[in-house]
């Protein structure tokens, strides 16, 4: 018969059903993390103390092993006895108050992976911006540009060009800047 779970209120591995159980880690820091997590007053784990699989999140329990061959194929085999990931600790306590159970924080990705993801995301956003900002024809330029034009500018259109004029109405009216876009989408700027 497997060893009984030491978590308060857990009945695993007593008489009715069997569940995989895991010994406390030998690393002192991780051992203290487990002891703190199980909320058992004045408890010092012995060499036979175990915590059953019901108290670990699924991603902490290793049920199969994989190996990559030199040719790149991956062989996966089911483990006879489940094992725990190196960073595993108990987080699920169904027979205790809910506030004692809490999910483990997600694993941090390394800085280079975060940077690569950010650069890829920026590249996608830039491509979307470029597609939305592209002007494919003279007619499209006229249609799109009028809606984005500041009210300080005047827009004059003809079959062969579009003129943008910035008037100055202080004192004697005059044009302070002009921009002419030809039908083949070349431009000419003039500051007055």
- N residues, the chain: 192
User: Lowest-pLDDT range, 38-47, 72-81, 130-139, 182-191?
Assistant: 182-191
- Read off the pLDDT band of 123 (50, 70, 90): very high
84 within 8 A of 22, measured Cβ to Cβ:
yes
144-169 pLDDT per residue, tens: 777 777 888 888 888 888 888 888 88
Q: Give the position of tokens 């984005």.
A: 148
Tokens of 42: 């004045």
Q: What is the rounded CA–CA span in Å between residue 118 and residue 155?
A: 40
pTM across the whole model: 0.51
| In the chain, where the domains are located | 21-105, 138-191
Can you say how many angstroms the Cα of residue 142 is from the centroid of all Cα atoms in its chain? 41
């Amino acid at each position: 018969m497997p060893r009984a779970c030491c978590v308060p209120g857990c009945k695993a591995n007593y008489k009715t059903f069997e569940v995989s159980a895991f010994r406390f880690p030998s690393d002192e820091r991780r051992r203290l993390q487990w002891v703190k997590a199980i909320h058992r007053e004045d408890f010092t784990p012995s060499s036979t103390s175990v915590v059953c699989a019901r108290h670990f999140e699924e991603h902490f329990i290793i049920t199969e092993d994989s190996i990559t061959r030199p040719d790149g194929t991956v062989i996966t085999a089911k483990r006879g006895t489940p094992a725990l990931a190196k960073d595993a600790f108990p987080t699920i306590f169904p027979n205790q108050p809910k506030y004692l159970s809490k999910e483990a924080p997600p694993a941090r990705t390394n800085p280079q992976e975060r940077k690569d993801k950010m650069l890829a995301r920026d590249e996608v956003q830039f491509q979307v911006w470029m597609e939305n900002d592209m002007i494919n024809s003279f007619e499209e330029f006229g249609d799109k540009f009028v809606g984005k034009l500041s009210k300080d500018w005047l827009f004059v259109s003809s079959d062969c060009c579009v003129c943008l004029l910035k008037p100055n109405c202080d004192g004697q009216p005059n044009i302070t800047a002009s921009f002419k876009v030809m039908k083949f989408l070349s431009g000419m700027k003039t500051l007055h």
